[in-house]
């Protein structure tokens, strides 16, 4: 069984003000640093064999918190970066052109951000990236530190869920998901959301995305 602990970075000021970050390199705020510490405490007993992170500092800082005190450093992988909002980075959805916010909410896969990416473009880069990580670590336990939209695409890719599930996948700041890849049944992945609500709470919740 290969296990991937997929985490989302802690909060930034842009998260708090609902501004679109994308590939903008925004730092964690005080709340985000505390969330990263809570996540680190919750995962303190997980024996990671390897770790990977988006190159953006909010994801790197979160990975560093989880790995603090271990003889292990996260490798930055460009494919794990967040979706680019292009010309709209730094703007809140209510500041987008008329109809764009509704389109993004109702049919996110139909959006192509000007000067940025579509979710399909994210899938084409991030799917092979996560597959390569799984392939390179058979039977091992790996930390992957990423972003809300990028992580949703990873979870859809891993489980074979339809793209329509995009907004159904919870991605709280400082949250974590466990992806278990079966060695006996290739292509079978069980995904479980971990309830990282308080420092001591590491019990595994019922699977949110079933084995595929």
- Supply the CATH number for residue 131's domain: 3.40.50.1240
pLDDT at site 186: 64
Domain hosting residue 70, numbered range: 2-194
pLDDT in tens, 1-57: 899 999 999 999 999 999 999 999 999 999 999 999 999 999 999 999 999 999 999
pLDDT band at 158 (very low <50, low <70, confident <90, very high): very high
Look at residue 169 and tell me whether its pLDDT is greater than 70: yes
pTM of the complete model = 0.91
pLDDT in tens, 116-131: 999 999 999 999 999 9
pLDDT value of residue 210: 37
Catalytic residues: 9, 82
What pLDDT band is residue 188 in, cutting at 50, 70 and 90?
Answer: confident
Alpha-helical (H) ranges within 2-56 are 13-16, 30-42
**Domain membership flag for residue 91:** yes
- Do 155 and 177 touch, CB atoms closer than 8 A? yes
Residue 202 is assigned to a structural domain of this protein: no
Q: Which helix (H) or strand (E) holds 61?
A: helix 57-67
The pLDDT of residue 195: 86
Distance CA 16, CA 159 (A): 30
Instruction: Indicate the number of domains in the chain.
Output: 1
Q: Say if residue 183's pLDDT is above 80.
A: no
Across 160-188, average pLDDT: 89
Reduce the DSSP state of residue 180 to 3 states and report it. strand
- Kindly tell me if the per-residue pLDDT of 144 is higher than 60: yes
* pLDDT given for residue 204 in this prediction: 38
At 63-89, the pLDDT tens digits run 999 999 999 999 999 999 999 999 999
pLDDT at 196: 79
Q: Region 184-207: what's the mean pLDDT? A: 63
Express as a percent the part of the chain with pLDDT over 70.
Answer: 91
Q: What pLDDT does 173 receive? A: 96
Cα separation of 136 and 132, whole Å?
6
Quick check: is 212 in a domain?
no
User: Residue 156: inside a domain, yes or no?
Assistant: yes
* Pure H helices in 90-183: 100-106, 119-136, 148-159
- pLDDT of 209 over the 70 cut: no
Residue 166: Cβ-neighbour burial (10 angstroms; 0-12, 13-18, 19+): middle
Which residue in 90, 63, 207, 24 sits closest to 146, CA to CA? 63
Percent of the chain with pLDDT over 90: 86
Could you tell me if residue 150 is inside a domain? yes
């Amino acid at each position: 069984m290969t296990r991937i602990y997929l985490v989302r970075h802690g909060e930034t000021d842009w998260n708090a003000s609902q501004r679109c970050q994308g590939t903008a390199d925004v730092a964690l705020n005080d709340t985000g640093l505390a969330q990263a510490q809570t996540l680190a405490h919750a995962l303190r007993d997980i024996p990671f064999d390897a770790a990977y992170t988006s190159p953006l500092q909010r994801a790197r800082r979160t990975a560093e918190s989880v790995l603090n005190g271990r003889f292990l450093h996260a490798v930055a992988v460009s494919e794990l970066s967040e979706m680019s909002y292009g010309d709209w980075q730094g703007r809140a959805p209510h500041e987008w052109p008329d109809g764009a916010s509704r389109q993004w909410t109702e049919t996110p896969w139909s959006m192509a951000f000007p000067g940025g990416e579509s979710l399909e473009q994210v899938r084409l880069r991030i799917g092979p990236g996560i597959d390569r990580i799984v392939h390179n670590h058979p039977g091992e336990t790996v930390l992957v530190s990423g972003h809300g939209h990028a992580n949703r695409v990873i979870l859809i890719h891993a489980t074979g869920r339809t793209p329509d599930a995009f907004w159904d996948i919870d991605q709280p700041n400082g949250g974590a998901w466990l992806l278990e890849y079966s060695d006996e049944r290739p292509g079978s992945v069980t995904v479980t959301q971990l309830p990282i609500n308080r420092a001591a709470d590491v019990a595994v919740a019922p699977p949110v995305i079933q084995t595929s």
